[in-house]
Amino acid sequence: MSIEINHLTFAYTQGGKKLEPTLNDLTFTIEEGHFLGIIGHTGSGKSTFIKHLNGLLPCEKGTVKVDGLDLSEKSERKKVRALVGVVFQYPEYQLFAETVAEDVAFGPKNMKLDEEEINARVTEAMHLVGLDPDRFSSRSPFDLSGGERRRAAIAGVLSMRPKYLVLDEPMAGLDPLGRREILALLEKLRAESGCTIIMISHSMDDIANHATQVLVLEKGAVCMYDTPENVFSHAEELQSIGLSVPNVTQICIELNKRGVAIPSSICKEDAFIEWFREEKAHA
């Protein structure tokens, strides 16, 4: 199963006139179980694209199919929204209930589930994000730390048990500890539930170290769609469209300039450490 994007094109309207396309003929497939990182310069179409994955924006031209369900068909959008959960930037701003448990329960209640199932999903989702229900259920979401509020907001999406979890800059505004906690949570979700992760990020290091596939958007079109190793080996091309590269990639570039032969495909910290150890062993 997968999300299939075929010739997706979209343009916003201003003053009754169509603007230049924000998305331009996107065609690719997001395979189930992957961690897809989406990168691109500001205005490249990243946020507009993810709004098409559960029908928040209509498919004006082209199609988006989630596990065979066509979002162009109004009758199938409700089914898709049960499969695709979207977490926007600063999701904690959407917290509104008096307690964490009530907030997390909002989605399942809208799904018309019975009380026993709702309670089970709330408990499950809170455990998944590392919020002990015994400690946090009755607390106000506004009394939590920034990282805890972010996790509570994500729990509200997870309580609907999405098969595909889409996140727009989920670590924005968090301190280093909060960033690590969210990334660890996403890895845990993928490992334990098989949930497909689709994440927009401006951190090339986070994308390199966690994504299995990388989508690079440039002016609404697909610039690259490949593994992190293959994408970040094109450092000059990425820099020419205003993107940076992971710190490890930059180190490799500098070492190569100094005559140290190191593969340009190394972009992950663990891969660099492994290469260094092998080089040291053969020295």
- Complete DSSP assignment for the chain: -EEEEEEEEE--EETTEE-S-SEEEEEEEEETT-EEEEEE-TTSSHHHHHTTTTTSS--SEEEEEETTEETTSHHHHHHHHHHEEEE-SSGGGG--SSSHHHHHHHHHHHTT--HHHHHHHHHHHHHHTT--HHHHTTS-GGGS-HHHHHHHHHHHHHTT--SEEEEESTTTT--HHHHHHHHHHHHHHHHHH--EEEEE-S-HHHHHHH-SEEEEEETTEEEEEE-HHHHHT-HHHHHHTT----HHHHHHHHHHHTT----TT--SHHHHHHHHHHHHHH-
Extract the tokens encoding 274: 């492994």
Mean pLDDT for 44-60 is 92
pLDDT higher for 17 or 7? 7
Q: Is 151 exposed, middle or buried (0-12, 13-18, 19+ CB in 10 A)?
A: buried
For residue 250, count other CB atoms closer than 10 A to its CB. 15
pLDDT at position 283 over 70: no
pLDDT at position 87 over 80: yes
CB-facing half-sphere around the CA of 111: CA atoms within 13 A? 22
Domain annotation for the chain: domains and CATH numbers = 33-58+77-228 (3.40.50.300)
Mean pLDDT for 171-195 is 86
pLDDT at position 276 over 90: no
150 and 92 Cβ atoms separated by less than 8 Å: yes
Percent of the chain at pLDDT exceeding 90: 59
Q: Residue 179: its pLDDT value, please?
A: 85
Instruction: For residue range 109-135, list pLDDT tens digits in order.
Output: 988 899 999 999 999 999 988 899 999
209 and 269 Cβ atoms separated by less than 8 Å: yes
Instruction: For residue range 208-227, list pLDDT tens digits in order.
Output: 999 999 999 999 999 999 99
- Computed over every residue of the chain, the mean pLDDT equals 91
Percent of the chain at pLDDT exceeding 70: 99
